[in-house]
Amino acid sequence: MPHPNGSNGNALQVAHSFAQTYAHVGRTGVAFVSTTGEAITATQGFARDGVTPTIVLQGQNHVHGRVCAACWGYTKSCTGERIGQAVAPLDSVVP
């Protein structure tokens, strides 16, 4: 991670950049509801390299995915996790 060209998923229209969203998530996280109706909490994190910032999408029972700047705005993360159900709703809560 990160994938050099984003993701192999479909592109989504997002109004905010990864940097804006990462800043909004902040250290305390942001709660929102996915398009599938699940409560999700987004928190800041890092990829395995310990350097690449990610947004961790924690669902009620498990982590749905991790999003970096390269895969922000896609339906799949760089590592192939399906994240589209969370990206658009997260983008919508960023002021």
Domain ranges in the chain are: 18-92
Condensed to tens digits (0 to 9), the pLDDT of residues 17-76 reads 999 999 999 989 999 999 999 999 999 999 888 999 999 999 999 999 999 999 999 999
Angle made by CA atoms 69, 1, 47, in degrees to the nearest 5: 80
**What is the pTM assigned to this prediction?**
0.90
Distances (CA, A) of 24 to 11, 27, 35, 52, 66: 22, 9, 20, 17, 16
Which residue is it, tokens 């997002």?
14
- For position 2, what pLDDT does the model report? 46
Which of 46, 76, 74 has its CA nearest to residue 64? 76
The first and second tokens of residue 59, run together, are 């669902």
pLDDT at 5: 56
